[in-house]
Copies of this chain bind each other. A is one copy, B any other.
Amino acid sequence: MRLAELSERSGVSPATIKYYLREQLLPPGELVTTRRAEYGEEHLRRLRLVRALIQIGRMPVATAREVLVALQGEGLDQNSRLGLAMGALPPGAEPDPEPDDPATELARQQVAIMAEELGWNPKELPVAAHRTLVAALATLARLGYPYDAAHLRPYARAAVRIAESDLDLLDEYDTALEKIETAVALTVLYEPVLLSLRRLAQAQESHRRQHGRLRPGNSGEGAV
């Protein structure tokens, strides 16, 4: 496959593909001659992943490169590479990292309490996500929205459900080599899905509460 065909099949302009090649988001095509390169299906797959990371995941190009490097994983086993790649994914927006203030310290404590309650092993928690969570909670507190571990609990429970679905979903794609790419892609691609669903559900719930309607097809309040 030539660059032009890669462009057509992916819907990405040739100029942009060249840019990605330059930025090493795509491995170079196999050079047939000095001025002719051949691209394969794996380039197409990779290109789609790159677009997902950048367009859907709003990830800076440099970060996307880190994720992709982790994906290659230089002589690591599959699980390590998966962990590495997932760890490189930036979870949501991070405000400029504040120095350790009281708000941050409090956030760390509440997260620890929550993790304890859920039986989460602190050693198995990805540091990037943990850091983001603490930062987000600290921001919350600084803006005057107090919270504690109890507030977090329902969200954490929902997150557990979601993670179970994520891994169930992943089990459907067990082509080994592609599995890690798929994990990364699905994690990123389902984010807007999740957030949209939350908005829709908020609207429904808001209507429901205003009009005192019973929730249909649901077997009770917080029987988590």
A interface residues (Cβ-Cβ under 8 A, vs B): 45, 48-49, 52, 55-58, 79, 82-83, 86, 89, 91-95, 115, 117-121, 124-126, 128-130, 132-133, 135-137, 139-140, 143-145, 151-152, 154-169, 182, 185-187, 189-207, 209-210, 215-218, 222, 224
Contacts and interface: CB of A to CB of B under 8 A. Distances in A.
A115 B90 CA distance: 31
B143 A52 contact: yes
Nearest to A56: B93
Given A158-B162, A160-B205, A202-B187, A194 B196 contact: no
A169 B151 contact: yes
A167 B204 CA distance: 11
A204 B140 contact: no
A130 B205 CA distance: 15
Contact of A196 (B56, B132, B187): B132
